[in-house]
Amino acid sequence: MMSAILPDLGKYAMPVLASYGSGLILLIGLVCVSVWQGRKAKAALDAVESKDQSDA
Amino acid sequence: MKALLLRDLRLAFRAGGGFGLGLAFFLIVVMLVAFAVGPQAELLSRIAPGVLWIGALLACLLSLDRLLALDFEDGSLDLLATAPLPLEAALSVKALAHWITTGLPLVVVAPALGVLLNLPPQGFAWITIALLVGTPALSVIGTFGAAITVGIKRGGLLLSLLVLPLYVPTLIFGAEVARRGAQGMDVSTPLLMLAGITFGVLACMPFASAAVLRVNLR
Amino acid sequence: MSLWKYANPVKFLHLSERVLPTLWVLSIACVATGLVWGFFFTPDDFRQGSTVKIIYLHVPSALMAINAWFMMLLASLIWLVRRHHVSALAAKAAAPVGVVMTVIALVTGALWGQPMWGTWWAWDPRLTSFLILFLFYLGYMALWAAIEDPDSAADLTSVLCLVGSVFAVLSRYAVNFWNQGLHQGTSIPVATGERSVADVFFVPLVIAMIGFGLLFLALVFYRTGTEIRLRRTKALLAREART
């Protein structure tokens, strides 16, 4: 099954797959954490600003 | 300047710390390494230069957080900053005091500890010279680290994280001088590099330290 | 019209809102193309076998690990000279990206080195330099995290970045002196115009490198925006607490 999708990596399949796996996990993790932090910051700022305006 | 130097030295002596503590620490590190790697004489003699350098590095690091923190807490750093003496000079003097209380004793006892580690006879002169040339750089770089972390509560660990990577070039060349000396090889290249780093750091680092300290005193 | 007008946080946010969607799409497209092409459609090297495919992650991430520090150095200088807050925050935002790039380079390098050099780790100058770079990143981020006052933090980290850069270069040469390496020479020597990599490998590699560069830009833009918003929230809350 897998061999139909994956190219033949020969005897070095483990290191190649592991590096792609770890590399992609790290990259996607970085993007996800960044976006999550960004969303949180935006929400916090919006909350404070809207409260500010309702006070004024 | 002389007054500041004498004051710092006197404080270090009175606290009983400075001198004895660093030396005792150095001795303990050497002893622990011997315990850790086992008592084989030829292995110890091979790693002796490196062990002595690591010991010097750690002993130097140990006393760094007190270098400025005490003066920061009791406000004498603010006085120093407003004194007619430029802050760069004051920090150089403090680094000098630190070197006299920790670096210099280490240089003096290093050959004695070399005996414990079976350092080859031709290595004694070189380890002393390497430490003599290299340890001033450790004090000056350490002063920069102390100046950065002076305002931080419990900055000790952060101080090590910031300072130790900066010690890498000094350590590499210093240990190389000692290693080559111990093996009877030519030491002129690493020795010149080591001296170059020390002098360069002596010339430039006080400005960075003073800039950082001014930020922290703001 | 000058670049400096984007030193205004509001203008910067507007710009990043306009640029970011394109940047995200382009960068992800490039990274995906480079990696998929590299993974599926390149032949095996006759000596390295399929491990040659690791290069499409290793080289771009190593490149960006160094360039991220370089960008932080520039941003720190701009902050120290011109006191633009956006610049300081951009340096702060770039550091975690640089760390991740360094880790990817180290991990993929280790995975490649195991079958090729027969060891996960060798105290080779390039590897060691990257380890030192990693430590510098950690110290830089720890310093940002440790200081409360944002302006002092920006000042101190900027000076640390300058001093660290000098010492990173020094360490590089010291490490070279300390141990001659077994690491491959650079894959794309710009000066000589020749390459040590064949065309089949080269094109996807360049695409991956461009992709990583764009991804870095997108992340820095986005994270700088996050930092600006956090800073503003804090300022508003502080003002409220006072009144």
Question: Which pLDDT tens digit goes with each residue over C34-86?
Answer: 898 888 887 777 667 777 888 888 989 999 999 999 999 999 999 999 888 88
Mutation for B interface: C141, C167, C172, C175, most B CBs within 10 A: C167
Beta-bridge partner residues of B188? none
Q: Å from A48 to nearest chain C CA?
A: 7
Name the band, by pLDDT with cuts 50, 70 and 90, for residue B13. Answer: low
State pLDDT tens for residues B182-205: 888 888 888 999 999 999 999 999
The verdict on a CB contact (< 8 Å) between B165 and C136 is yes
- B75 near C CB under 8 A: no
Helix, strand, coil share (%) of chain B residues, nearest 5: 85, 0, 15
The verdict on a CB contact (< 8 Å) between A10 and C226 is no
Whether A and C touch, i.e. at least 3 CB pairs below 8 A, reads as yes
Which residues are within 8 A (CB) of B159 and not within 5 positions of it... i.e. 6 or more apart? B61, B64, B65, B145, B146, B148, B149
The verdict on a CB contact (< 8 Å) between B212 and C136 is no
**Rounded average pLDDT over B5-12:** 74
pLDDT at B79: 82
Residue C237: list chain A partners with CB under 8 A.
48
Using CA of residue C22, residue C26, residue C27, residue C32, what is the dihedral sign?
Answer: positive
Whether A and B touch, i.e. at least 3 CB pairs below 8 A, reads as no
Chains touching C by CB (3 or more pairs below 8 Å): A, B
Mutation for C interface: A20, A32, A51, A55, most C CBs within 10 A: A20
**Rounded average pLDDT over B55-69:** 85
- A52 near C CB under 8 A: yes
- C189 near B CB under 8 A: no
